[in-house]
Amino acid sequence: MLWTIGKVAVPWIVRQGVDRGIEAEPPDIGEIRFWGLMVLLAGAGSAIFAGARRYMAFREARRTEADLRDQIFAQIQRLHFAYHDRTQAGQLMSRGNTDLQQVQQFVVMIPVTISNALTVLLVTVLLVVIDPILTLFALGSLPVVNVLGKRFSTRLFPNVMRIQEESAQLASVVDESVQGVRVVKGFGAEPAQSTKLETEAEDVYDAAMDASYVRARYLPAIELMPNVGLIAVLAYGGHQVMNDELTLGTLVSFNLYVVLLIQPLRMLGMIIAQAQRAAAAGDRVAEVLSTAPRIVDPAHPRQLPSKGPALGHVQFEAVDFSYADGTPVLRELQLDVPAGQSIALVGATGSGKSTIARLLPRFYDVDGGRILLDGVDVREAPLAELRRAVGIVFEDTFLFSASIAANIAFADPDAPQEQIERAARLAGAHDFIVELPLGYHTEIGERGFSLSGGQRQRIAIARAILADPRVLILDDATSSVDPTKEHEIRDALGEVMQGRTTIVIAHRPATIALADRVALLGDGRIVATGTHDELLATSEAYRTVLAAIERDVEAGEEVRL
């Protein structure tokens, strides 16, 4: 407001200087100097306040962007697995970066927009006070500008939304290509990915050109109309001065006021365009923020028991489950794993073994039945407490770009070095870690690809061990381990599993044999249970599945060799 007042004051000061100094008889040099100094002071004050306005605008815009980014990140962390199953990472990255930048750029313009509106209001009032008829000539183009602005906004929004969506698709292709660069190179698919990228880039280009065409149609007209008003003012006002109906200073100040109107009206198109981009980006950001997480803490949580003779009793009671496509995966599944016991889940591909591992820590909610951990329905337990109680080693190992020690201590960053090394020894990882140049302080790079698959999996096992869960789930945790080293990890796992409830999803018979019991899955149900030897002797279905597993393992080893 102070910036605007300083700016609007200049034409009035110039009017005084012209009428009292230049037009005086004789010209008064003292008045000219005084009012010249006033112009300098008003301009300096306006400049100072302009700097303060700019700083405050960027401060608020960046704070808005940072707050929204924090909210989006927290929301992404809260959202359920099913949401991430169907949403591309590139789409989320685009919302957290490109879209937020558009919002930030709009927030920066809010003080300018307010100032422009205030300038137009003050100048219009002053023009009417000076000469109502001259004001009609000056502002006669405003209704046309208003109509053009509305049409411009209506036609621009769909194109801007398309740009944002196509940019997100482009980001998804880039993200997949970077994350899967080893697969791309392994299959020599660089040309195919480049073609896909070119297609998406062309779509962005086409959308941007459509938006540019709309701008090219409307912005020149919006910028031209205020200048038409200036021509009318010069023509009519000049005649008034020559007829002594208007002082020269008044005409000069009037023209300066009209010039002050040109910039705000010229910026109108830019403000509309930026507002449309921000609106499109805001819709996409709001789509993420307004998505309700399906897996949340219960309204009245029940704490898991922390004391007792044995912790880790797992029960699946008549559990039904299907993923988003509606195909049933589990049907009336019954499974009871007493505390401290280990059980191996065996079955053909797609029989639901990994689904069981994901239901226990409540990555998904069951469709029917219930899952109990130490007598508490997992849907009634606090999520953080439940997931601390259930540790998982996934088949697809993910390590972070950090040191080996930080990856092992992921669940407890403050864990002492002794605990980190103990977990690594139990997982069979200590020996290869100490041989690395910096030992436990070695940075392993993105996703840990500087290590072998077996080394990554052993670090993941150590990470789960250090978390000290009451239930440990090993989802095919030895699949990437070299057969010559597998016995070392099996020995380590045997020690880790001792006295701890463990669910083992395994394809190798030697790993299956580590468990106290084996449960055979078929058609979404437990069709047989017993020890490994008992099922070999009594279950034809078990022998068939095991034979198929052995063939797959042998084929995999041949490929590896």
Residues in the chain: 561
| Tens digits of residue pLDDT in 405-422 | 998 998 888 889 999 998
The pLDDT score that the predictor gives to residue 373 is 93
3-state secondary structure of 330: strand
Q: CA torsion sign, 541 to 547 to 551 to 556?
A: positive
Query: Is residue 220 a contact partner of residue 203, using CB atoms and an 8 Å limit?
Result: no
DSSP string, 66-112: HHHHHHHHHHHHHS-HHHHHHS-HHHHHHIIIIIHHHHHHHHHHHHH
Does the pLDDT at position 553 exceed 60?
no
Strand partners, 319: 333
314 phi, psi to nearest 5 deg = -115, 130
Residue 336 pLDDT: 93
- How high is the pLDDT of residue 557? 47
Pairing of strands 328-337, 314-322: antiparallel
Distance of CA 465 to the CA centre of its chain: 31
What is residue 368's predicted lDDT score, i.e. its pLDDT?
93
Inter-residue contact 235 to 242 (CB < 8 Å): no
Q: Rounded to an integer, what distance in angstroms lies between the CA atom of residue 4 and that of residue 436?
A: 65
Lowest mean pLDDT among 120-134, 218-232, 336-350, 371-385: 218-232
Per-residue pLDDT band at 84 (split at 50, 70, 90) = confident
Return d(Cα 82, Cα 497) in angstroms, integer: 30
State pLDDT tens for residues 472-530: 988 876 665 555 556 666 666 777 777 789 998 877 777 787 788 999 998 888 988 98
pLDDT of residue 558: 44
Residue 244 has pLDDT above 50, yes or no: yes
In this structure, the strands spanning 471-475 and 501-505 are parallel
Angle, nearest 10°, between helix axes 2-17 and 100-130?
30
Q: Write the DSSP symbol of residue 439.
A: G
Task: Give the whole-angstrom CA distance, residue 350 versus residue 345.
Answer: 12
Confidence at 221, pLDDT banded by 50, 70, 90: confident
335-378 pLDDT tens trace? 999 998 989 999 887 788 888 988 999 989 999 999 999 999 99
- Helix, strand, coil % in the chain, rounded to nearest 5: 65, 10, 25
pLDDT at 560: 42
DSSP string, 34-47: HHHHHHHHHHHHHH
Give the domains, in start order, of the chain with CATH numbers: 2-171+205-289 (1.20.1560.10), 314-396+471-560 (3.40.50.300)
The helix/strand/coil state of 392 is strand
- The CA distances from residue 304 to 56, 454, 474, in Å, are 50, 34, 22
pLDDT at 306 over 90: no
